[in-house]
Amino acid sequence: MKRKAWCGSADHPVSRRGFLGAAAAGTAFAADMTVLDALKQPALAEELKWQQKRVILLWLAGGASQLETWDPKPGVETGGPFRTIQTTVPGLHISELLPQQSERMQQTAVIRSLNTKIADHGGGYRLMETGRLPEPGVAFPHLGAILARELGRIDSHVPDHVSMYTSTEGRRKGTAGFLGARYNPMFLTENMMPENIRRLEAISEADHQDRAALRDFFAERFSRTVDSAAVASHGTAYERVRGLMASDRLFDISEEPQAMRDKYGPTQFGEQCLIARRLVEAGVPFVKVARAWWDSHGQNFETHRELCADLDHCMSALMDDLADRGLLENTLVITLGEFGRTPRINGSLGRDHFARAWSCTLTGCGIKGGAVYGKTDDKGETVVDGEIGAADLFATIFAAVGIDYEKEYMLGSRPIPIADFGATPVEEVLA
Amino acid sequence: MNSSLKLARADKWNQSDILFCVARPNDSDRLFVGSSDFGVYEFDLSAEKPERVRLEGEQHQSYVTGLAVAGPMLISGSYDGQLIWWDLAEQRSTRVVPAHDRWIRRVIASPDQTRIISVADDMLCKVWDVATGELLTQFSDHGEKTPHHYPSMLYAVAASPDGRFLATGDRVGHVAIWNADSYEKVGEVETPVMYTWDPRQRRHSIGGIRSLAFSADGTQLAVGGMGKVGNIDHLGGPSRLEVFEWSSGTRRFEVEDDKKKGLIEQIVWHPSGDWLLGAGGDHKGFLNIYDMHSGELVTQESSDGHVHGLVADAALENLVTAGHNRLERWTIAAG
């Protein structure tokens, strides 16, 4: 099996945790020249690159139709009315509802063979957010928490895990589970400005700065007399809080030029995608932007005409912006929901829940653009080639951003692999 | 009106596909339907068990959503944006016209059958010469985007029986009335309740004006759709009919019904103007008769499938509906 993660072998003798420990031991690692010298080691440089990897999850809440997006079946009973369009990848066709994406498919891999079996919203959500079935007594972390932990930096001054979900239907916060509250999402719902991170009005900016300076003064003097990781961690925590307080500007898209805002467009999803770019640019390792609600039991085609227009435009703007800034090669953009939709068209011209044969996409970091993995039958009712489940998708995501998908967390004495037992990454979509 | 009108189903023919539209030449037994399998089919209703025959020649590439008979020709429109002329005698296509850039929603013939009028999601109403297939004119009073920045849709068009006026209706509830000679706009009415935008729970929209019909004297315009929907995942809103004295913009009636929910897809006025028939549905279908003196829904029948298309005889005593997996024949008589 091709491995994408740092392997821990003798050829790569510096561990990530060791590196972070060294970095965190200084007041700021960049000021410590011995650490900078250490970057000359290839393994450490590779680790730093890994550190810079990011993930943006475009969560298509409610379940988008694979037939109206990535796996169209024109001209058959289940195919619906839309035609396909040729993409920039020879032989690859997607729905005509995604014309801008069709011009960018050389950057994207499509997986058309998800069979995740669970077709209720709650169950599908839990499966696709954790990559495994629930177990009583074990709070499995969600994808964002795992990526925050694996890609985030201990000394980071920005949030590790940001999740935006403004619609109320299907809104679920997500959890870091046994990884601990440190990796829970900064969860934005009512508006896009984080709450409770602003300085209290009763404290002036000058007082705020003075208090910080005084605390630093005592902390620095104390740390000279006590050589303790706990003391260093305490200082890091304060640094992080100050960083989080200053990060509110990352959510303020009024700082962006109007021309850039125009590229993303006027919809809320567009604005949230722009915030996502600002966040990953500032070093946030995981951002989830939920676009609800695709649950088109009635009027599926009109719902997809509406929502696909939003997805197509905003996702394309995001990809272009990331690419223009040199961020796309280190940022993985995922489109995923809790399931797809039935090939059968119901009496309301709708499609219902369907988890046996559906699609997702992976773009950017670690991905072989233009790849198509898996195949469904002519009517889109079953997977006929390359069937994968949620765990395999998680392994693929981890591999794409350089995380050892076989890594294990210890929950007490129980090892729990970050991708569920037996998971295998889809090599065909990995660069 | 006779308040004891009775609606009764006379026949039902199950189909495997979805029938979106239906047309019939001059009350004949020949019936034509447009299908989700992209075909146009003929049924001979005089047969004991009508068999469907696919018209030959050039075919559509998507759902066939509009049909109109004009003299010896049948003209179909499709989500593929094309209009196709079919020779009724030969049962073959004779002309294909790339007509619209987006889905064609409805196709009608002018009362004198010299012109074809089509509306589509490019938000244009286009008028075509039946004999030559040439575009005579195009016009619009409908925005391409909804107020929430998403693509709008232009679903409905109707001609007044005297041929003097046209009406077009869109997703956000705007109706424009046009002089059918000069194609200048002569009126407008608004039905905003027929457009449901959910800004909070699901953040998309549903609804729109799905049907329009002028009264026999052309002074009244009936508008069909669906009222406000709580859960826009489904066609779960009340059917909604609004009737206007369009020249003054006065709304005479607004009628909602929760017993049988969904969109009113078709409206036909009785020649007397005393009542009208509306048909549509959610996952099931309905036919409603409304008293146009009181504005009340007075008679209602169910269909097992959503009704998309309807064709009736001049007296509105016999009709055929086309819909989801079925074709049905109905009668309307005094009870």
- Tell me which residue range forms the domain holding B321: 5-15+112-334
Top-confidence residue, A8 or A387: A387
pLDDT of residue A2: 37
The pairing of beta strand B165-170 with beta strand B174-179:
antiparallel
Contact A349 B18 (CB under 8 A): yes
Contact A82 B61 (CB under 8 A): no
User: Which residues of A sit within 8 Å Cβ distance of B?
Assistant: 62, 75, 77, 81-83, 166-169, 265-268, 291-293, 295-299, 302-303, 305-307, 309-310, 345-350
- Per residue in A256-309, pLDDT (tens digit) is 999 999 999 999 999 999 999 999 999 999 999 999 999 999 999 999 999 999
B63–chain A Cβ distance below 8 A for any pair: yes
Total count of domains within chain B: 1
User: A84 and A14 share a domain?
Assistant: no
- Per residue in A188-227, pLDDT (tens digit) is 998 888 877 777 788 888 888 888 888 888 888 888 888 7
Chain A neighbors of B103, CB-CB under 8 A: 81
Residue A237 lies in a domain: no
> Nearest CA of chain A to the CA of B164: how many Å?
32
Residue B283 lies in a domain: yes
Which residue in A has a C-alpha nearest to residue B202's C-alpha?
A: A293
- Per residue in B296-317, pLDDT (tens digit) is 999 999 999 999 999 999 999 9
Contact B150 A309 (CB under 8 A): yes
Chain A neighbors of B206, CB-CB under 8 A: 298-299, 302-303
> Nearest CA of chain B to the CA of A281: how many Å?
28
Residue A9: count of CB within 10 angstroms of its CB: 8
What's the whole-model pTM score? 0.89
HSE of B319 in the Cβ direction (CA atoms, 13 Å)? 26
Chain A neighbors of B205, CB-CB under 8 A: 306
- Give chain B's end-to-end CA distance (angstroms, integer): 12
Single-letter code of the amino acid located at A298: G
User: A35 and A146 share a domain?
Assistant: no
- 116-175 in chain B: CB under 8 A from chain A: 121, 148-151, 153
Chain B neighbors of A82, CB-CB under 8 A: 62, 79
Residue A282 lies in a domain: yes
Chain A neighbors of B121, CB-CB under 8 A: 305
Chain A neighbors of B239, CB-CB under 8 A: none
Beta bridge partners of A334: A57, A362
Mean local confidence (pLDDT), A393-421: 96
Which residue in B has a C-alpha nearest to residue A166's C-alpha?
A: B200
The pairing of beta strand A54-59 with beta strand A331-336:
parallel
Q: Determine which of A261, A269, A349, A352 to mutate to test the interface with B (most B C-beta atoms within 10 Å).
A: A349
Mean local confidence (pLDDT), B100-116: 97
Chain A neighbors of B170, CB-CB under 8 A: none
**By C-alpha distance, which of A89, A162, A26 is closest to A370?**
A89
Which residue in A has a C-alpha nearest to residue B262's C-alpha?
A: A348
pLDDT of residue A182: 86
- Tell me which residue range forms the domain holding A29: 8-51
Chain B neighbors of A299, CB-CB under 8 A: 206, 235
Residue B324 lies in a domain: yes
The number of helix segments (H) and strand segments (E) in chain A equals 12, 16
pLDDT of residue A193: 82
Beta bridge partners of B329: B11, B320
Contact A268 B61 (CB under 8 A): no
User: A29 and A117 share a domain?
Assistant: no
Summary mean pLDDT of chain A: 87
CATH no. for residue A266?
A: 3.40.720
Chain B neighbors of A293, CB-CB under 8 A: 201-204, 233
User: A45 and A154 share a domain?
Assistant: no
pLDDT greater than 70 at residue B220? yes
> Nearest CA of chain A to the CA of B89: how many Å?
28
Residues A348 and A297: beta-carbon distance below 8 Å: yes
Contacts of A282 (CB under 8 A, 6+ apart): A158, A247, A250
CATH no. for residue B161?
A: 2.130.10.10
pLDDT of residue A194: 82
User: A287 and A407 share a domain?
Assistant: yes
| H helix runs in A326-413, sequence order | 390-400
Top-confidence residue, B253 or A9: B253
Chain B neighbors of A302, CB-CB under 8 A: 153, 206
B324–chain A Cβ distance below 8 A for any pair: yes
Contact B202 A295 (CB under 8 A): yes
Separation of alpha carbons A396 and A404, rounded Å: 10
- What is the three-class DSSP state of A296? coil
State the burial class of residue B335 (Cβ atoms within 10 Å of its Cβ: 0-12, 13-18, 19+): exposed
Q: Of A81, A295, A310, which has the smallest distance from its Cβ to B79's Cβ?
A: A81
Residue A245 lies in a domain: no
Residue B77 lies in a domain: no
Separation of alpha carbons A16 and A41, rounded Å: 13
Contact A75 B283 (CB under 8 A): no
Contact A347 B202 (CB under 8 A): no
- Per residue in B200-218, pLDDT (tens digit) is 999 999 999 999 999 999 9
DSSP notation for A10-39 = TTS-S-HHHHHHHHHHSSSGGG-HHHHHHT
Contact A310 B150 (CB under 8 A): yes
DSSP notation for A172-214 = -----GGG-GGGS-EEE-SSSS-SS-SPPTTS-HHHHHHHHHH
Contact A350 B80 (CB under 8 A): no
Which residue in B has a C-alpha nearest to residue A295's C-alpha?
A: B233
Cα angle vertex B19, ends B17, B25, to 5°?
135
Contacts of A254 (CB under 8 A, 6+ apart): none
Give the DSSP H or E segment for A333: strand A331-336
User: A84 and A136 share a domain?
Assistant: yes
Separation of alpha carbons B279 and B239, rounded Å: 9
Residue A61 lies in a domain: yes
- Per residue in A57-112, pLDDT (tens digit) is 999 999 999 999 999 999 999 999 999 999 999 999 999 999 999 999 999 999 99
Separation of alpha carbons A178 and B9, rounded Å: 62
Question: In the structure encoding, which two tokens stand for residue B50, read together?
Answer: 């009508």
Q: Of B61, B205, B234, which has the smallest distance from its Cβ to A297's Cβ?
A: B234
Total count of domains within chain A: 2
pLDDT greater than 70 at residue A28? no
Residue A114 lies in a domain: yes
Residue A235 lies in a domain: no
User: A152 and A258 share a domain?
Assistant: yes
User: A310 and A257 share a domain?
Assistant: yes
DSSP notation for B158-200 = EE-TTSSEEEEEETTSEEEEEETTT--EEEEEE-GGGEEE-TT
Separation of alpha carbons B19 and B324, rounded Å: 6
> Nearest CA of chain A to the CA of B19: how many Å?
11
Which residue in A has a C-alpha nearest to residue B326's C-alpha?
A: A347
Measured in residues, chain A has a length of 431
Chain A neighbors of B321, CB-CB under 8 A: none
User: A366 and A297 share a domain?
Assistant: yes
pLDDT of residue A29: 31
Cα A386 to the center of its chain, rounded Å: 24
Residues B17 and B37: beta-carbon distance below 8 Å: yes
pLDDT greater than 70 at residue A411? yes
Which residue in A has a C-alpha nearest to residue B17's C-alpha?
A: A77
> Nearest CA of chain B to the CA of A167: how many Å?
5
> Nearest CA of chain B to the CA of A51: how many Å?
35
Residue A415 lies in a domain: yes
Look at residues A16, A32, A51 and tell me which one is the last residue of a structural domain.
A51
Residue B64 lies in a domain: no
Chain B neighbors of A169, CB-CB under 8 A: 201-202
User: A315 and A287 share a domain?
Assistant: yes
DSSP B51: P
Residue A299 lies in a domain: yes
Residue B136 lies in a domain: yes
User: A26 and A69 share a domain?
Assistant: no
pLDDT of residue A18: 35
Q: Of A75, A296, A348, which has the smallest distance from its Cβ to B282's Cβ?
A: A348
Cα distances from A298 to residues A118, A354, B49, B231, in angstroms, run 21, 15, 32, 10
User: A82 and A181 share a domain?
Assistant: yes
Cα angle vertex B209, ends B204, B211, to 5°?
145
Chain B neighbors of A290, CB-CB under 8 A: none
Q: What phi, psi does B223 have (nearest 5°)? A: -125, 130
Chain B neighbors of A62, CB-CB under 8 A: 202, 233
Residues A377 and A407: beta-carbon distance below 8 Å: no
> Nearest CA of chain B to the CA of A297: how many Å?
5
Residues A65 and A351: beta-carbon distance below 8 Å: yes
pLDDT greater than 80 at residue A401? yes
Cα A267 to the center of its chain, rounded Å: 21
